[in-house]
Chain A
Amino acid sequence: GDSVTQMEGPVTLSEEAFLTINCTYTATGYPSLFWYVQYPGEGLQLLLKATKADDKGSNKGFEATYRKETTSFHLEKGSVQVSDSAVYFCALPYSGGSNYKLTFGKGTLLTVNP
């Protein structure tokens, strides 16, 4: 079945460090791919998405490229800030007729220290 595997955390970085959070998926076809972020005390927010292979999603300095060859959608940011501290979730819709359901990875906790 469809699934998402995320890099396990927690990840602790210093401000201005480079960030990569790995995400690979198993799915039928080429689904849209999403990164959601959950800031402390807040709900899940869509961070970025890519709807087809080779697309790059970007937002708030974060980027992720949809790579069908490696079935990956790794999240990157060149210079993290303390305010980026949050839990990050990779997600994709179920394939076939249930594509309104999202399946999520387990989440990666990022802590950025000043």
Chain B
Amino acid sequence: GAGVSQTPSNKVTEKGKYVELRCDPISGHTALYWYRQSLGQGPEFLIYFQGTGAADDSGLPNDRFFAVRPEGSVSTLKIQRTERGDSAVYLCASSPVAGGPQETQYFGPGTRLLVL
């Protein structure tokens, strides 16, 4: 079956602009996660959705970052007033049920964001 998909695969924008990154999780997965991977680093947690609600947004770096999942499926990560330091690969993952320590998270290919 289809895996997690993310669009766009690459996004180049200018400092100060607004961007939206989209994630389509595996059908039927209720848990969805966003991570950010900077060059040479492992992914870092941003936000976790259980259904439509953000159960934990403690990893969002500041209030320029926001994510939604209005119907409990597709999610959009929104970044306002982008800064060069936002350049990274943004990864989305999903898992079948409520996130837990034994749950396998299935990752998408990521969106590579470059802020000029």
Binding site for B on A (CB under 8 A): 4, 31-32, 36, 41-46, 49, 51, 89, 91, 93, 98-107
Chain B residues near A107 (CB-CB < 8 A) = 40-42
- Is the Cβ of B104 less than 8 Å from the Cβ of A91? no
B2-33 Cβ-contact flags toward A at 8 Å (1 or 0):
01100000000000000000000000000101
- Is the Cβ of A100 less than 8 Å from the Cβ of B100? yes
Chain A residues near B100 (CB-CB < 8 A) = 93, 99-100
Known: A43-B110, A46-B105, A101-B59. 16 other contacts (CB 8 A): A43-B3, A43-B107, A45-B107, A51-B102, A91-B42, A93-B100, A93-B101, A98-B58, A99-B99, A100-B33, A100-B48, A101-B45, A102-B35, A103-B42, A104-B42, A104-B44
B residues contacting the other copy or chain, number (CB 8 A): 31
Given A31-B101, A51-B102, residue A102 in contact with residue B107 (CB < 8 A)? no
Chain B residues near A105 (CB-CB < 8 A) = 42
